[in-house]
Structure 1
Amino acid sequence: MALSLSSPTAITCSKLHDNSSLQFNTSNTYKRSPNAVSVKCASTEPPAAGAGSAGRKSKLEIGSPIIVVEAPRMIKTAASVPCLRVNSGLVKPGDVGRIVSRKPMDVWAVRLSIGTYLIDGKYFKPLELELDS
């Protein structure tokens, strides 16, 4: 049974509720839809300085010192083969570390004294160091 690649193919599907037929277009032609809509999201207001978490996250970059403000329930190692485990007192509030890299979804690889862990950004804040001159 040969299938022509230039003509539409109709397949009857008995699993559908109305026992209708499905039609697949197997041709290699692509048509641009005239009803395509492009949406651009932009704010007309200037961003507020230091408002919310956007101001807090802008200070975070690779090498920045951080301090843990809340102990995460689960921690994941930042090794090539990560290990997810319950935080049994390994990472505590007040622990200080440095950011090694950034991962998607506001997750950061943080080097602590006990090792490098992937920690969500809500569990730590940037550490402000005061320089004595």
Structure 2
Amino acid sequence: MSELQDSDRFTLAAGDRVRLVALPPYVKTAEPLPMLRPPSVLAIGDLGTVLGCRPGNCWAIRFANGAYLLTAQYLERVQTP
């Protein structure tokens, strides 16, 4: 797959694992009909998988309880051995 890049932070590719390091004021679902959800649906430290990059410098991330759109400021790449 092609690499996805957020020049301010790091390079990600679809399938990479990431950790949530901060909570945004709200989260937007990465569904065909997106909805705004309270930040309590996620927790700091949650692990997710990158699904891809979306317009507006947002990353679609699949967490255990759903897929959400987040900017790189809330994410940190998890190094896999």
With the shorter chain as reference, the TM-score category is 0.7 to 0.9
Query: 1:125 — aligned with what?
Result: 76
- How many positions carry a matched residue from both structures? 76
Contact 2:9 2:72 in 1 (8 A): no
| CA RMSD between the two structures | 1.6
Runs of 4+ in 1 over 3 A off after TM superposition: 53-56
Question: Which 5+ residue runs of structure 2 have no aligned equivalent?
Answer: 1-5
**Alpha-carbon deviation of 1:98?**
0.3
State the match for 1:100 in structure 2.
51
Q: Structure 1 residues 77, 55: closer, same or farther in 2, change over 3 A?
A: closer
Match of 2:7 in 1: 54
2: CA distance between counterparts of 1:124 and 1:71?
10
- Secondary structure at the aligned position of 1:93 is classed as coil
Alpha-carbon distance in structure 1 between the residues aligned to 2:35 and 2:7: 30
- SS, match of residue 122 in structure 1: helix
Q: TM-score, normalised by structure 1?
A: 0.53
> Rg: which structure is higher?
1
Q: Normalized against structure 2, the TM-score is what?
A: 0.83
Distance of aligned partners of 1:56 and 1:82 in 2 relative to their CA distance in 1, 3 Å threshold: same
CA drift of 1:110 comes to: 0.2
Contiguous gaps of at least 5 residues in structure 1: 1-52
Tell me by how many angstroms 1:54 deviates. Answer: 3.3
Q: Aligned partner of 1:92: which letter?
A: A
Distance 2:73 2:49 in 1: 15
The structure that is strand-richer by fraction is 2
1:68-119 per-residue CA deviation (whole Å, 9 max, x = no partner) reads: 00011110111110001221x2111100000001012320000000000111
Identity within the alignment, %: 29
Name the structure 2 match of 1:112.
63
